[in-house]
Structure 1
Amino acid sequence: MNHKKFPYAGFNSAAIHAGHEKDPKYSHLTPVYAASTFVFDTAEQGMKRFSGQEEGFIYSRWGNPTFAEVEQKIAALETWGHAGLTAKAFLCASGMGAISALLLSTLKKGDKVLTHYSLYGGTQDMIESVLPDLGIEAIIVDLKDLQKAEDAFKNNKDIALLYLETPANPTLQCVDLAALTALAHQYGVRVACDNTFATPYLQQPFSFGVDFIVHSTTKFLNGHGTAIGGAFLGRDTEFMQSKAYRIYKNLGANGNPFDAFLLNNGMKTLPLRMDKHCSNAATIAEYLNKHPKIGKVNYCGLPGHPDFSLAQKQMKHAGAVLSFELKAGFEGGKKMMDQLKMCTRAVSLGTCDTLLCHPASMTHFSVPKEKKEAYGITDGLIRMSVGIEDVNDILNDLEQAIN
């Protein structure tokens, strides 16, 4: 049976079976193809593969059978439930590898990229420190204000890409995918979205017209903290198979077979894990929102959050990541982190265990205070990736750590 063409009625089925082809040696799971290169039966076959007349693998930087299943599975999940919607995906060495491949394949010298505040730190650094040296300028505005977004398009005819991250890291603010994409397309601008926090289980940007999606597969897609990885997807399959593929393979942004194997197995339980992650997060957000030592909770699943209605419109659930501000500030944040007993002190997110980090003393320690505050990163801010432990154990650990 060709599983790729079977019409899966459920997301769970697609997460398990999409992209899988029967192994010629009858292995139940797709093996780790730990091969740097692939052989040809004849010189004629080699010529046909290099010219594109025949499909087949040549060199693992250009493609690998273990990658292929993962790429097809991610593309299937991002387009699942939308008849006629197709996408091409590339498996990358990291989320930043995916973002780099996206930016370098869609932007050139003289172009501008429009984006918003509160992006993942690596993305922010890429846009502000790397792209300018290539002659590419970043325009950063509050994209929650559609008028400001339209003014940016009107006043900057060189904008070639609108880059979105929703929910954003670490403030969890959301932007309107449908409205911003429609606006960008009016001005002939393509749109990309980082869908790491939501995953395709909770949000499918392609369904809102977005042109490109990037993921750090290290996070919820893998789910177990066992491998670094990224994914770069596009709806324009001709573009993806030509210019984007050329940038991807020459950049050396490809993943590796063993990490792809781990990612493939992790994705099979994505829906089950996300349901538990999300239900735990909702309970914890409500608890924190009532805690006397917490000044603010950033979680768009709370009715009082400014993005509550928007999140309900474009997401299945508000997700499993939240942040909150301790009234005790910087020292309070450090103290709480030191007193955790079960939850894990670590950066990253999306693993089965609950992870907490204090950006002011960790990821953003070297960022000037005024810049941190402009991005909503206060001294007492704690980012929390809620795991799938028993929710009462998470609550008990938070209670003793905060107090």
Structure 2
Amino acid sequence: MNKNNIDFGTLAIHQKHTDGHHAHIAPIYASSTFTFDSAEQGMQRFSGEDPGYIYSRFGNPTTDATAQAIADLETWNIKNLDGTPLNATALLTSSGQSAMSTLFLSCLSAGDALLATPSLYGGTHEFIMKMLPKFGIKAYFLDMTDTDKIEELLKDKPEIKLVHFESPANPTMQCIDIERIAAVSKKYGKLVSVDNTFATPYLQQPFKYQVDFIFHSTTKFLNGHGNAIGGVLVGRDLEAMKTYVHQTHKLLGVNSNSFDAFLVLQGIKTLPLRMEQHCRNAMDVAHFLYNHPEISQVHYNGLPSHPDHAISKKQMRHAGSVMSIELKGGYQKSIDFVNKLQVCTRAVSIGTVDTLVSHPASMSHAGIPRETRLKTGITDGLIRISVGLESIDDLLADLEQALR
């Protein structure tokens, strides 16, 4: 079955997996190691002559099936510049954080530098600031809405090897013009990576714009049910993914496990259906909050008032289901609002079937200095909402009573 000859939703359901017993659903291979028929076969597997499995830290049928399913969705219906179908490969990791660290540590060495947008997930920002310097890797942060400044920096700083950003960004929902940033980065021979967690391949496919790497926290929308921590790193350079990226993944020991991989694989089957409902509910919630007298600002790229609304429409199928809001009355009013919620769930993370509400300044971005946080728009009273699949009437009623 050619992945480019069927609909995205069909591809999400009909995932390939290897099983000699013809299991309908991909089995969970709960085995730490794999046997050899002979000493010679073991030697051939370690040398790469035999592609069979060795040890689950190196590869496992369940985790590989899940990784390839995500790679197929990220490349669905995309062609290379020469008109041939784009293929990519992926590595499933123990978390989104480990997918990110595998990317950075496989592509960057001592003396290299990373260019990133300031608006990032708190864990990513902390890793860049606290861990990369230990490896002799420098970081530059620049607002990526100004392509001229990016080009000037890339021209002046040849040590920059990788350009990285989130779009939409967490939690301000800033959208980066992927096509423009990729084009100027490629002009100077830089690798480009995108955290596509908020959008998923259903809403946005960065590979359309010649991006080199995509990663996700599969914990979020790809899994969709909040029952498995995981990440995935997808790359279009098959040789790089097979060699130095895989080696980094293997030596860091950041592999996923087969149980969590199985849960992600099942979640992917309903991804298009869930994302459609997530987005419908989010749009209704955004309009309700935008018009509410107790709300001073709604950061949601699906609203024309959002500065990146046009970019979002250009590169996303829908605007997504995450937004952030600011209440009149500041910090204390925001905390009171969170405490009064009855239907919405007070928890960090995003992408589960229930609506999750959190306070980034004291939770997901607590490790970032306040001055830095404020520069990226994460105020003390900012509230992030990941809109779930509940009845929209129940959601709006809960928000109304909490705002009262």
Q: Same fold (TM over 0.5)?
A: yes
Provide the C-alpha distance between the structure 2 equivalents of 1:365 and 1:349, rounded to a whole number of angstroms.
17
1:297 aligns with 2:298: yes
Partner of 1:281: 282
TM-superposed CA distance for 1:365, in Å, is 4.0
Whole-angstrom CA distance in 1 between matches of 2:206 and 2:310: 17
Matches of 1:295 and 1:182, distance apart in 2: 36
Q: Secondary structure at the match of 1:360?
A: helix
Whether the 8 Å CA contact 1:88–1:240 is kept in 2: the answer is: yes
Instruction: Judge which range, 253-262 or 43-52, deviates more.
Output: 43-52
The counterpart of 2:63, out of the listed 55, 61, 67, is 67
> Does structure 1 residue 34 correspond to structure 2 residue 35?
no
**TM-score, scaled to structure 1:** 0.97
Structure 2: distance between partners of 1:40 and 1:366: 47
Aligned to 1:193, the other structure's residue is in SS state strand
Query: Secondary structure in 2 aligned to 1:246?
Result: helix
Name the counterpart of 2:12: 15
The 4+ residue runs of structure 1 with deviation greater than 6 A are none
Instruction: State whether structure 2 residue 391 is matched by structure 1 residue 390.
Output: yes
**Separation in structure 2 between the aligned mates of residue 266 and residue 376 of structure 1, nearest angstrom:** 32
Q: Is the 8 A contact 2:75 2:88 kept in 1?
A: yes
Q: Which residue, 71, 74, 78 being the options, matches 2:74?
A: 78
Q: Tell me whether 1:210 sits opposite 2:211 in the alignment.
A: yes
Superposition map of 1:41-52 within 5 A: 41-52=37-48
Report what 1:54 is aligned to: 50
- Show the counterpart of 2:239: 238
Report if the CA contact (8 A) 2:126-2:367 is conserved: no
| Contact preservation (8 Å) 1:219, 1:348 | yes
Q: 1:6 to 1:176 in 2, by over 3 A?
A: closer
Matched, 1:118 2:119: yes
TM-score by length of 2: 0.97
**CA 1:328–1:236 in structure 2 vs 1: closer, same or farther (change >3 Å)?**
same
Separation in 1, partners of 2:76, 2:220: 20
Task: Tell me if structure 2 keeps the 8 A contact 1:8–1:14.
Answer: no
For the residues of structure 1 that align with 2:355 and 2:3, how far apart are their CA atoms? 36
Unaligned segments of structure 2, at least 5 residues: 80-84
Task: Report the counterpart of residue 355 of structure 2 in structure 1.
Answer: 354
Partner-residue secondary structure (3-state), 1:147: helix
Show the counterpart of 1:182: 183
1:48, distance to aligned residue in structure 2 (A): 1.4
- Cα deviation per residue 1:111-137 (whole Å; 9 max; x = unaligned)? 010011110001000101100111101
Q: Structure 2: how far apart are the matches of 1:182 and 1:317?
A: 24
Residue range with higher mean Cα deviation, 365-374 or 327-336? 365-374
Q: Offset of 1:305 from its aligned partner?
A: 1.1
Q: Match of 2:334, SS?
A: helix
Amino acid at match of 2:271: L
CA distance in 1, matches of 2:152, 2:44: 50
**Which residue pairs with 2:82 in the alignment?**
none
Shift of 1:366: 5.4
Aligned partners of 1:19 and 1:68 also within 8 Å: no
Output the CA distance in 2 between the equivalents of 1:359 and 1:115: 20
- SS in structure 1 opposite 2:394? helix
Deviation for aligned residue 1:363? 2.8
The Cα offsets for residues 62-92 of structure 1, whole Å up to 9 and x where unpaired, read as 0001011101100100000114111110000
**Structure 2 counterparts to residues 112-191 of structure 1, below 5 A:** 112-191=113-192
Report the CA distance shift for 1:320/1:63 in structure 2 as closer, same or farther (over 3 A).
Answer: same
In 1, distance between residues paired with 2:89 and 2:400? 45
Q: Which position in structure 2 is the counterpart of 1:24?
A: 20
Q: Structure 1: which 5+ runs fail to align?
A: none
Distance 2:338 2:54 in 1: 49
Superposition deviation, residue 108 in structure 1: 0.4
- Post-superposition shift, 1:6? 5.9
For 1:210 and 1:165, the matched residues in 2 are separated by 12
Q: Separation in 1 of the partners of 2:322 and 2:204?
A: 14
Query: C-alpha separation between the residues in 2 aligned to 1:364 and 1:190?
Result: 27
Deviations 1:287-319 (A, max 9, x none): 111111111111111012110110011111110
CA distance in 1, matches of 2:100, 2:8: 26
* More displaced stretch, 215-224 vs 63-72: 63-72
C-alpha distance in structure 2 between counterparts of 1:395 and 1:282, whole Å:
12
2:246 partner SS: helix
Matched position secondary structure for 2:362: coil
- Distance in 1, matches of 2:134 and 2:176, equals 28
Distance 1:365 1:186 in 2: 37
